[in-house]
Structure 1
Amino acid sequence: MSVFSEKEVAVRNIIFSTPLSEPEYYLLKTSAIAAVFVLAASLPILLSFAYYAHYFNFYAYDEFTLPLLLFLLPSQIFVLGLALAVGRVHSRLLYPLLPLVLFLGFFNPRLPAWFDLFGNNFLSWPLRWYLGVMEGPIPYILPNDFLYSRLVFIFMGVVMFAFTCRKSKT
């Protein structure tokens, strides 16, 4: 049951002496992680909305809803499910997972669109060169393989979360 730390194993009897079952415990832990993610993601989004409102008098924020959902939600669900599943297998595997996810998020390793977890291919200068648009707005077109990959990432994250929530034999 070592999801995030070896210390959890040491207090395992105390944790499960409460009326929470093991799946409920993981659901509670996931809820806390999701709440922190929503708060952490909301701050820069709200700051950017304030920036657009102040400098450009732009208030049509509903145009950002689909891109926010396509770029944030699938990667968050997948990484959460992956971290919980990897932590359930062995907590020390989380140490190399963290820098790998950060590397994929901050840099663009030129992954194919269907494997691009964070959508970096659509948020960089090479996209301008690829589309031949050097000035002005970039035409916002997402290929179908990218959209399908978002669904696959969500599905895989949910499956890994379900793997994590299953009861352990001990």
Structure 2
Amino acid sequence: MVRRIETRTGRRYATSTIARWVAHNTWPPRIDTFWFERWAAIDRAGGIDAMAAATGSSRHRVVAWRDSPDPAAPPPGRIPPRKRKPTAEPQEIGVETRGILRIGETEQHNKRIPTDPARDYEVLEAAPDSGILEAWFDNDIDTLMDLLSDAITEQVTAFWDVAQYYDARYTVTEIVQFLPSIEGQ
């Protein structure tokens, strides 16, 4: 972060100075809070290229958003269909959640997904237009929980034996772990 601040401001600050500012919730001159939030979103995604791939955008759009002086600049989104390359495929993500499982009229609170205690996360498929990855990169946890609730209901609970006889619905109340990409893991 020290290097990023130096690049942004043109001035090198000591790590202790930056730590002192952070402790007081202030920032160096010429640094805006939204800029830190954008870098955090890029870091959560795994870098500029990873964010571009996950959002169906381009590297240039991610960099332009990161460096935009407008605090209301929209995050990099999908490239319009006429410009989009047809390689946008669903991406596998990993999640560990807690939530409410409704089977028929009964509710089970604090239900963990995955249900197998030996597994660290449940593998889900996130379609490019599902909004799951965008919600994660925007740090919009409420939207992400809603989208994951639908995905888990459709991709996990729908295949349980009980779902043949009763309506099974899962509602995420806590995201314990979210892995935006599990390729190679």
User: Relative contact order, CA 8 A, sep 6+: which one is greater?
Assistant: 1
Q: TM-score with structure 2 length normalisation?
A: 0.27
Report which of the two has the higher share of helix: 1
TM-score by length of 1: 0.28
Point out the structure with the larger strand share: 2
